Amino acid sequence: MTDSPRPTPDRLRALPSRLLGFAALHGDRLVSEGLAAVGARKWHYPVLAALQEYGPASQAELSRRARIYRSDLVAVLNELADDGYVERTPDRADRRRNVITLTDRGRRRLDQLDGLIDTFQGELLAPLTADERDELVRLLTVLVAHHGERM
């Protein structure tokens, strides 16, 4: 007799924290693998998006905007700078600090990544209608705001 996997207990299948965790893992995997296929990492996207939306920033400010630890941001900026997507220049007001600027090539890369991210979101949310997707985003935004996270 072979052991067949037992179904997950009902109490576990109904835990919102567990469901959110599984959905988040799947979404993270979709994004990470999809971006890797075009030579990008998941942290490239928020950095490029923050620079496009808010303009040039110090590394510290960019760390806050993109929600990436400063120590991790350095490696991300190195990759983006090596590929010509961002430029680092000394801050005129404080030469100890760099200002990060999005290049024209970085804008084109962001446009490409925007399309890919849209595709990944579509895959993740495929079983939901457009209204359900909007409602899910609204509810998740309420949860995140309630727990003190800034988006």
What pLDDT is recorded for position 91?
85
Q: Is 26:125 a contact under the CB 8 Å cutoff? A: no
- CA–CA separation, 79 vs 135, rounded Å? 36
Domain assignment present for 114? yes
Q: Is residue 14 part of a domain?
A: no
Asked, for residue 26, whether it belongs to a domain, the answer is: no
Domain membership of residue 34 (yes or no) is no
Among the residue ranges 1-10, 54-63, 70-79, 135-144, the one predicted with the least confidence is 1-10
Q: Is residue 18 part of a domain?
A: no
Q: Work out how many domains the chain is built from and give that number.
A: 1
CATH number at 49 reads: 1.10.10.10
Look up the domain containing 134 and give its range: 39-146
Cα separations (Å) of 82 from 6, 69, 75, 88? 50, 20, 11, 11
Does residue 76 sit within a domain? yes
* pLDDT bucket at 95, cuts 50 / 70 / 90: confident
Residue 47 covered by a domain: yes
| pTM score of the predicted model | 0.87
Find the DSSP H helices in the chain: 10-13, 16-36, 44-54, 59-66, 70-82, 104-124, 130-146
18 CB-side CA count, 13 A: 8
